[in-house]
Chain A
Amino acid sequence: MQSNDIEGLINRVAIGDRAAFLSLYKITSPKLMGICLRILNNRGDAEDAVQEVYVKIWQRAQTFAAGPSNPTAWLATIARNHAIDLIRARKPVSEDLEAAYDLADETMPSPEAQAGINDEGRRIDKCMAELDPIHAGAVRRAYVEGLSYLELSEQMKVPLNTVRTWLRRSLLKLRECMQR
């Protein structure tokens, strides 16, 4: 996918250009279908989700901010969020937002607002390589498969609190690494 082309199409969709919307669908729907299918694990559900995702894209195109924002990431985020919401609604997990925060005392610099945002994709790979491989694998699986803490804990056969600590510590390290 050419980022510039996609950005142009999204901007045209924002002013109600149907032809641009159809082009955008043609170019991007296989990727968004792939996202929905991976998370929902069912072709019919994924196609229903894709339908909803493109309705949202049509409705939200005006909120797409050109500039540092990445058009393909923007589209993928809409698809991932929709699919994750569906799977969470179907298989509820209880979650205490305040659960087991043993990391709060560790200091972490605030993220720089805009700096080098286009390079961050490459930097995350470097930073992922600095994590314990098992923890990095858990981060990646959580993202790609849309797994909850509970599902990760079951699939990786480690206690829930352990997984939670791995992930939170990994996020902390990733953020620190990205700041360098």
Chain B
Amino acid sequence: MSQDATTPKDDILAGEYVLGLLSLDARRALERRMAEDRSFAELVRHWEIDLSTFNDAYDEVSPSDAVLGRIKDRLFGEQQVAKVRTGLWNSVPFWRWLSFGTSVVAASALIYASGSAFLRVHDREYVAELSAPANAVNMLATYDSGSGRMRIMPVAAGPREEKSLELWLVPGEGDPLSLGILPADTGGDLVIPADLRDRIGEGATLAVTLEPFGGSPTGRATGPIVASGTARSL
């Protein structure tokens, strides 16, 4: 843990911040510093823990029941999405209640993409963006309350102009074969080239890589594998 960049004055400043003595401007300035200066952030964290016994002075007071209702509305409120299949990139409600291992989710998404799963557009569809910090890939879940069908598809994080997700069939020997680019706008549907369809079945290994927009320029996977898995029949 490096402390070399901080001085006694910094330690006092960190303590003043934690005590809550400073102005709003000063607090914001120190929070910006914490984001960039790990040593200083560590000083603050120390004071937070050191002084936390003072929290015993706070009496417990139950908030009124309405408060939890308002929080639930804010965080989990049913958000109807009129057109699930368009404009997802622009307005994805943050309806996040799932978290899977990336590869598991991607693998199931790929099975949907290659199989006959078909998501009808009903009156009530929901969409959730599943994400984690510093991931190259997010998952987009759409849920049809009429059929109970959930579909999960991977999408490249960040502006879509920058990257594409490319699906590969990984044979036992030889180079992976591109099955195409995972489109963001069409609900994860991908039409597999006719000459490759026979090769996708029970036990086929599928992988997704992050490629430049439009797909690998070389015909071979160039980007990192973001997910891989083996197809099983449903």
Contact = CB atoms under 8 A, between A and B. Distances in A.
Nearest to A31: B60
Contact of A172 (B8, B21, B27, B60): B8
Interface string A77-108: 10010001100110011110100010110111
B234 interface: no
B68 A25 contact: yes
Interface in B32-72: 42-43, 45-46, 48-55, 57-64, 66-68, 70-71
A76 interface: yes
A31 B52 contact: no
Interface residues of B, number: 56
Interface hub of B9, B19, B49, B68 (most chain A Cβ within 10 A): B19
Contacts of A38: 57-59
B61 A18 contact: no
Contacts of A178: 50
A104 B23 contact: no
Contacts of B12: 103, 168, 171-172, 175
A113 B61 contact: no
A50 to B, nearest CB: 5
A63 B35 CA distance: 13
B55 A111 contact: no
A133 interface: no
Interface string B1-41: 10100111101110110111111111101000000000000
Given A15-B99, A55-B71, A92-B24, A97 B13 contact: yes
Contact of A77 (B6, B48, B99, B132): B48
A113 B43 CA distance: 9
B98 interface: yes
A contacts with B: majority SS: helix
Contact of A104 (B9, B42, B60, B96): B9
A75 B197 CA distance: 53
B121 interface: no
A30 B61 contact: yes
Given A73-B55, A113-B3, A93 B20 contact: no
A104 B8 contact: yes
A116 to B, nearest CB: 11
Contact of B21 (A72, A113, A148, A175): A148
A9 interface: no
Nearest to A163: B21
A142 B20 contact: yes
A21 B76 CA distance: 11
B55 A35 contact: yes
B159 interface: no
A110 B3 contact: yes
Nearest to B70: A51
A113 B25 CA distance: 28
Contacts of B3: 110-111, 113
B133 interface: yes
Nearest to B128: A16
Contacts of A76: 52, 55, 58
B75 interface: yes
Given A85-B24, A142-B20, 8 more contacts: A22-B68, A94-B23, A95-B23, A108-B11, A123-B50, A140-B57, A143-B18, A171-B16
Interface of B: 1, 3, 6-9, 11-13, 15-16, 18-27, 29, 42-43, 45-46, 48-55, 57-64, 66-68, 70-71, 74-76, 96-99, 132-133
9 contacts: A21-B75, A31-B55, A34-B60, A70-B52, A121-B49, A121-B53, A143-B54, A147-B21, A171-B12
Q: Which 9 A-B pairs have the closest CB atoms?
A: A113-B1, A95-B23, A30-B60, A73-B52, A171-B15, A108-B8, A110-B3, A34-B58, A15-B99
